[in-house]
Amino acid sequence: MDKGTAPIQLSAEGILPKLEKDELDNYFLMLDIPDQPVKIKLDSSQVRTLGLLCCHYFPNLEPRFVVPSEEEAYRLPARVFAHLDDRSIQLLLREVQSESLIIFLWYMKDPRIVKKIFKNLAVRAAQMLLDDLQVKYDELKDPDKATLVVIEDGRGEALEIMKTLDRLQAEGVIPKF
């Protein structure tokens, strides 16, 4: 959403939301609003995040899957990076811009992911990325204490990188696990 655009607010009273998946693995959130049905296309990263946000906001629905914070709902799906093999990381890094990677690594605040990414970069590329990371976030070490605008950038990059991973897995470039 554009920063200057106000969100559309609707009352959900009497509306039963449905989540549908088609044969091409596209997801659709359906809202049967009288005189104005809404169909919103979502990618698998967005659906996972919505599911985890539900676990966070409604912990009694399924106590085994409680998500301790809203940020964890965005971070948890991306933690798979720590378990990808080196070749998969290298293929993924070819698809991700360095600025996106900087924001993602800062937002994730997971040393396992940082180690995995840096291990799969050339020495010079790793040094440049580390320098850029330190310059950009020198004052702002903890993403959980950042402003909402900065946090939303991190969330967005996490979702985009997960979308890239999902695409590469769907294309068979990176194995599913």
Does residue 8 fall inside a structural domain?
A: no
In a domain, 92, yes or no: yes
Q: Is residue 1 part of a domain?
A: no
Report the chain's mean pLDDT, rounded to a whole number: 88
Q: What CATH number did the domain enclosing 86 receive?
A: 1.10.220.30
What global pTM score does this model have?
0.76
* Domain-located, residue 176: no
C-alpha to C-alpha distance for 12 and 66, rounded to whole angstroms: 25
Residue 2 included in any domain: no
Q: How do residues 28-83 score in pLDDT, each as one tens digit?
A: 998 888 778 889 999 888 888 888 888 888 888 777 778 888 899 889 889 999 99
- Classify residue 152: in a domain, yes or no: yes
Q: What is the mean pLDDT of residues 164-177?
A: 91
Q: Which domain holds residue 84?
A: 17-170
pLDDT digits (tens, 9 = 90+) for 92-150: 999 999 999 999 999 999 999 999 999 999 999 999 999 998 888 877 778 988 999 99
Place of tokens 């933690």: 79
Q: What is the DSSP string of the chain?
A: --TTSPPP----TT--EEEEE-TTS-EEEEE--TT--EEEEE-HHHHHHHHHHHHHH-TTT-GGG--SSHHHHHHGGGGGGGGS-HHHHHHHHTTS-HHHHHHHHHHH--HHHHHHHHHTS-HHHHHHHHHHHHHHHSS---GGGS-HHHHHHHHHHHHHHHHHHHHHHHTTSS---
In a domain, 142, yes or no: yes
Q: Which two tokens stand for residue 46?
A: 């967005």
**Distance separating alpha carbons of residues 71 and 74, to the nearest angstrom:** 5
Count of domains in the chain?
1
Structural domain includes residue 55: yes
User: Token digits for 41?
Assistant: 């296309």
133 close to 106: Cβ distance less than 8 angstroms: yes
